[in-house]
Chain A
Amino acid sequence: MERSAVAPAAGVALIALGAAALPLVTRDSYYLDVATTILMNLTLTMSFRLQVSTGQINMAHISFMGIGAYASALLVTRAGLSFWATLWIGALVAALLAVPIGSVALRVSGPYYFLITFAFSEVVRLFFNNFFEGLFGGPSGLVGIPKPGRLLGLVFDGKLALYGLMAVLCVVVVLALVRLDCSRFGLTAGAIRQADLVAETLGVNVFRYKLTTFVLGSFVAGLAGVFFAHYRQVLHSSDFGLEPMVLLVVFTVIGGTGSVWGPVVGTILMTIASELLRELHHYEILVFGAVLILTMLFAPEGLVALPGAARRLLRRVRARTTAPAGAGLAP
């Protein structure tokens, strides 16, 4: 695991270049829509992986996206605030709520943490669905959310402009998270995942680290949620329910959580696959479930680890075939 800063910088530059190059190839609104979804999902999976890197599987991650989305939608439609303010306010609301929730959930670990966060995500979903119907729209959803509007003389209502906005947000998030991963923060996070008690006795306040990643991840999820609200212009509680959460886990895990590039590969491949499987509707999750099981069985470290695994296998095969006869005998 090399932690120099050159390869990560090149990776981020590649994502930025790819995102910038797409409109030169096509301005078809369908492709722009898929690309925007990829970038939105990538923002989510990268922030989810930040938490996974300290060993947390936070099943409420999607809920913080929802909290950011609903907060911004209401502040714009009810309080008349500008999208450019609620973009940050929505993310901050998600982060602020993450402090008490994380403080409770992180008292436990492993399967209990998984269960507590899962329970919380259902509470949030049911809350948006069943309470304050006049505010959240209830089962029929919250509609009439305006597009972002003007900033610095640019109008953000077309597919291309919104794609550009999401691309900028995503690249900034990826840059920050990649930088974190390559830094001492990432080193410490990985140490916590491998052996939290040893890290703690070496002076690492494990709880504080986990809470930091929980809150920071929630901030980023909230940011993606705000964009989602004003991009789709309609919110349903099921947008932040179990099914999208499972997809978020699948997207992140299939690529591999060992490196920051796992979620990148997984998200791009799986979002495209999800588009191709669109006709299956709710059955697509069956396909993703199967893909997840196959990945866990045959490539537990994710797709990005496959080249390395193949190389090791090849070297072992080669070593066996070229070993001289009788090499195992004692002299």
Chain B
Amino acid sequence: MLLELRGVSRRFGGLQAVADLSMTVAPGSIHGLIGPNGAGKSTAFNLITGVIPLTAGEILFKRERISGLRPSEICRRGIARTFQATALFREYTVLQNVLVGAHLLAAPGLGPALSWSRSYRERERQARERGETLLHSLGLGAVASQVVGQLPHRDQKALALAMALATGAELVILDEPLAGLTDQEKAETTAVLRRLREQRITVLLVEHDMKAVMGVCDTVTVLDHGVRIAEGTPREIQANPAVIEAYLGAEEPGA
């Protein structure tokens, strides 16, 4: 298993946001995490990426414990993420944003920057080239030198994904990658996710668009009130009475 959560809990004062959550993400899969508002999906993402600490349990990535590490160290181990409210460096250009994402693969730190050595410049040039290639592959080639603040919503979403990929992560965690997109744009994004799977990059995502989730995911985990109520293939989830009862209610799944 690539990612493993064992009995993970998080309490905010009197609220049990995530309760004794155990789940595994298989390498090379697209794994969906769904549930109604307040089910604890975003909290789960924050726990995995070290943004907030766990109250109980542990998280393993490639069989090594990552819970308790700094977010930057978790990223260094191979997990990158996007945020629900698309978070970018707004004063920077699109390419500069991706270059920050390439931090770990480039030449970080004081020494290389001060020495301005040949190897430093070479690594920076490579980072720039990789960044440009990545932007082209996500349809952002034309806006590479634009400042982020003025980009359309779709491009901002794509850029957030590009930054996560630029870290060289093996697992990317996407918080609502399709929110606010048109049907056409959603289709483009799901095509990108499938392409990532072909490149053996594992995707874990939270998404409210059920049709898209059921169409693109290999495995789906369902949360309700911080508790895992089901896990399985989209077909199994859609047929699961507990899911229909607790989450989809009277609605027809996939509607």
Q: CB within 8 Å of B: which residues of A?
A: 1, 3, 5, 176, 179-180, 183-188, 190-191, 194-195, 197-207, 212, 216
A203 touches B104 (CB 8 A): yes
CB pair A1–B114 under 8 Å, yes or no, is no
B163 and A202 form a contact (CB under 8 A): yes
Contact of B116 among A183, A187, A206 (CB under 8 A): A183
Q: How far is the CA of A58 from the CA of B120 in the complex (A)?
A: 30
Q: Given contacts A184-B113, A202-B75, is CB(A194)–CB(B167) below 8 Å?
A: no
Which B residues are CB-close (under 8 A) to A183?
Answer: 112-114, 116, 120
A303, B196: Cα distance in complex, Å: 46
Q: Is the CB of B70 within 8 A of A1?
A: no
Interface residue ranges of B108-134 to A (CB < 8 Å): 108-110, 112-114, 116, 120, 124
- How many chain B residues touch A (CB < 8 A): the figure is 39
In the complex, what residue of chain A is closest to B148 when comparing beta carbons? Answer: A194
B35 within 8 A of A: no
Evaluate contact between B72 and A195: CB separation under 8 angstroms: no
CB of B110 within 8 A of CB of A216, answer yes
Q: Are A198 and B104 in contact (CB under 8 A)?
A: no
Residues of chain A lying within 8 A (CB to CB) of residue B83: 198
Q: For the A-B complex with A179-B114, A187-B92, A205-B70 known, give 4 more contacts whose Cβ atoms are closer than 8 Å.
A: A184-B113, A187-B99, A200-B70, A200-B75
Interface residues of B (CB under 8 A from A): 49, 51, 70-73, 75-76, 80-81, 83, 87-93, 96, 99-101, 103-104, 106-110, 112-114, 116, 120, 124, 163-164, 166-167
A180 surroundings in chain B (CB, below 8 A): 110, 113-114
Q: How far is the CA of A190 from the CA of B88 in the complex (A)?
A: 12
Q: How far is the CB of A14 from chain B (nearest CB, A)?
A: 20
A198 nearest in chain B by CB position: B87
A-B contact pairs, 17 of them (CB 8 A): A185-B109, A185-B113, A186-B113, A187-B92, A191-B89, A194-B89, A194-B90, A198-B87, A198-B88, A199-B89, A200-B70, A201-B51, A202-B72, A203-B76, A203-B80, A204-B103, A212-B109
> Quick one: given A179-B114, A188-B108, A190-B91, are A199 and B100 in contact (CB under 8 Å)?
yes
Q: Which of A1, A3, A183 has the largest count of B CB atoms less than 10 A from its CB?
A: A183
Are the CB atoms of B103 and A202 closer together than 8 Å?
yes
What separation, in Å, do the CA atoms of A199 and B124 have in the docked complex? 18
CA distance A188 to B99 in the complex (A): 9
